[in-house]
């Protein structure tokens, strides 16, 4: 079957329904679309041939290409720190490669317990628990706490892990307009008398803007609702002490449960949730991704422990990150490039047109800039963009405007 429609006119949202009697087969129209749009598909899943550093090497058009890495989560450069790597090496010798068991059964080590204690102390909470996946941790926390009679009220730009958590809980789900206190007020009003959880993020991963924490928390509190903040992209990179957007905006004491990941500023993988001892103990039994999957590898836990130590003691890391972000914003503004609502180190270059977005993606890679295409439904149809994240230790001086001019 040939592709009769311009592949640039379609998106992933067009291939959700099954087309054959075989539930294990991909829709043929999707396969044809991928083949017809190979020019665009080539920008996804490029092979990284070196570390996720600010300057790295990828495979592009079958060749090695040196690029400036603008799409990594390694905000503070901790994934490449010699001390972090050395800590991982030492744990590899003492604890081996994998945990080889669920935390509930045989996968919990002394390193895991130490990291739980350190995270809880860092965030000023009674206890913390670890997940082997940031996505799974968010999903497991939400689905482990909410029940069918509850209401989850999510910002309409919330991450899919949070939405899937509410879906798995089978509770009533509402959305409110992004960062809009009046819209949240209306959603809460519609469900008066029921248990309600407002779910927001510290920094939104597609838009690069902060959650409107103070105002949204005030609205939630006026209705007796609790607030859950996903600090995935803000933890260790925001606030005077690195405790995320909640610290930055002075609302830590008003948020009973803090969720974050180790795959962003920590430079590793996994997730964590911190709160009162009773709630964490409950989640150890009811957060399915924790109970029914293998614990984080000890080698990773040891690396995270060292990353936490460095990230909390070397405050200049955050300072440099924000200086680079300010510089980048300034350069993009002077070039007339639309970065949407971004006020942080995550900056979308808003294109709007799908075909142009992919064409620019190739042109930027040819010029040595590695940025990632973000298409609908991850972003609204009109916001097709190329997302990049500024890094701590590579201020590129005058190269950025020279590279982007004429694109």
Catalytic status, residue 4: no
Taking alpha carbons only, the member of 75, 77, 109, 66 closest to residue 91 is: 109
d(CA 396, CA 20): 51
Catalytic residue of the set 112, 159, 264, 329 = 264
Contacts of 377 (CB under 8 A, 6+ apart): 11, 12, 13
Residue 306 bears catalytic tag:
no
List, in order, residues 6 or more apart from 55 with CB less than 8 Å away. 66, 67, 68, 69, 394
- Active-site annotation holder among 95, 112, 159, 233: 233
CB of 58 closer than 8 Å to CB of 46? yes
- Torsion angle defined by CA atoms of residues 259, 260, 261 and 267, in that order, rounded to the nearest 10 degrees: -160
Closest CA to 137 of 9, 271, 16: 271
Exactly one of 72, 205, 342, 385 is catalytic; which is it?
205
Nearest Cα residue to 220 out of 250, 244, 261, 256: 256
Q: Where are the beta strands (DSSP E) in 28-171?
A: 55-60, 63-69, 127-131, 151-155
CB–CB of 116/131 below 8 Å?
A: no
Q: Where are the alpha helices (DSSP H) in 96-238?
A: 110-123, 134-145, 160-169, 181-190, 213-222
The CA–CA distances, whole Å, from 149 to 50, 196, 204, 330 equal 49, 9, 28, 48
Contact criterion met (CB below 8 Å) for 50 and 64: no
Contact yes or no for 300/269 (Cβ under 8 A): yes
Contacts of residue 180, defined as CB under 8 A and 6 or more positions apart, other chains included, come to: 212
**Residue 402 near residue 386 (C-beta atoms within 8 A):** no
Q: Is 205 assigned a catalytic role?
A: yes
Nearest 10 degrees: Cα torsion 25, 29, 30, 33: 150
The one-character DSSP state at 32 is: H
Q: Do residues 144 and 118 touch, judged by C-beta distance below 8 A?
A: no
Mind telling me the catalytic residues?
A: 205, 233, 264
């Amino acid at each position: 079957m040939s592709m009769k429609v311009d592949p640039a006119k379609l998106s992933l949202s067009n291939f959700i329904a099954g087309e054959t009697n075989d539930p294990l087969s991909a829709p043929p129209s999707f396969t044809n679309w991928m083949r017809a749009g190979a020019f665009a598909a080539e920008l996804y899943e490029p092979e990284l041939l070196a570390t996720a550093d600010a300057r790295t090497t990828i495979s592009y058009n079958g060749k090695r290409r040196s690029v400036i890495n603008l799409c990594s989560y390694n905000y503070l450069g901790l994934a490449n720190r010699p001390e972090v790597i050395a800590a991982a090496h030492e744990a590899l010798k003492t604890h081996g490669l994998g945990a080889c068991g669920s935390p509930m059964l045989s996968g919990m080590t002394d390193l895991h317990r130490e990291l739980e204690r350190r995270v809880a102390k860092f965030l000023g909470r009674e206890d913390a628990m670890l997940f082997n996946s940031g996505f799974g941790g968010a999903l497991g926390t939400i689905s482990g706490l909410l029940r069918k009679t509850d209401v989850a009220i999510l910002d309409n730009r919330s991450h899919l892990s949070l939405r899937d958590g509410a879906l798995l809980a089978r509770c009533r789900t509402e959305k409110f307009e992004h960062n809009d206190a009046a819209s949240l007020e209306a959603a809460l009003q519609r469900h008066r008398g029921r248990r309600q959880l407002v779910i927001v993020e510290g920094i939104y991963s597609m838009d690069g803007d902060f959650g409107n924490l103070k105002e949204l928390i005030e609205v939630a509190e006026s209705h007796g609702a609790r607030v859950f903040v996903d600090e995935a992209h803000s933890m260790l990179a925001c606030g005077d002490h690195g405790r995320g957007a909640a610290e930055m905006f002075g609302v830590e004491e008003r948020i009973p449960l803090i969720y974050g990941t180790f795959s962003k500023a920590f430079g590793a993988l996994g997730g964590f949730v911190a709160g009162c001892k009773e709630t964490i103990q409950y989640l150890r039994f009811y957060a399915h991704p924790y109970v029914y999957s293998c614990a984080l590898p000890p080698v990773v836990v040891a690396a995270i422990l060292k990353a936490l130590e460095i990230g909390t003691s070397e405050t200049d890391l955050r300072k440099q990150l924000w200086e680079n972000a300010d510089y980048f914003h300034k350069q993009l503004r002077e070039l007339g490039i639309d970065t949407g609502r971004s006020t942080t180190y995550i900056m979308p270059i808003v294109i709007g047109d799908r075909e142009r977005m992919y064409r620019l993606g190739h042109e930027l890679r040819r010029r040595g800039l590695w940025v990632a295409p973000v298409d609908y439904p991850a972003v609204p149809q009109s916001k097709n963009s190329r997302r990049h994240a500024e890094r701590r230790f590579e201020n590129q001086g005058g190269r950025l405007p020279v590279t982007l001019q004429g694109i």
